[in-house]
Amino acid sequence: MFTLTTAAAKQIQQAANDSGAHEMALRIAAKKDADGAMQYGMGFDDPQDEDMKLDLEGVAVVIAGESQELLFDTVLDFVELNPGEFNFIFMESDHPARVGGSTAPGGCGSSGCASGGCAGKGAMH
pTM comes to 0.74
Measured between alpha carbons, how far is 20 from 123 in angstroms, rounded to an integer? 22
Q: Looking at this protein, which amino acid is placed at residue 22? A: H
Q: Tens digit of pLDDT for each residue in 9-24?
A: 999 999 999 999 989 9
Measured between alpha carbons, how far is 1 from 23 in angstroms, rounded to an integer? 23
Q: Tell me, what's the pLDDT at 99?
A: 43
Do residues 59 and 9 touch, judged by C-beta distance below 8 A?
yes
Q: Tell me, what's the pLDDT at 124?
A: 33
Q: Tens digit of pLDDT for each residue in 65-115?
A: 999 999 999 999 999 999 999 999 999 886 544 444 433 322 333 333 433
Query: Mind listing the domains of the chain with CATH numbers?
Result: 3-111 (2.60.300.12)
Across the range 19-45, mean pLDDT stands at 94
Measured between alpha carbons, how far is 112 from 2 in angstroms, rounded to an integer? 23
Q: Tell me, what's the pLDDT at 117?
A: 42
Q: How many CB atoms lie within 10 A of CB 115?
A: 10
Q: Tell me, what's the pLDDT at 108?
A: 35
Element (H, E) at 17: helix 6-19
Q: Tell me, what's the pLDDT at 111?
A: 32
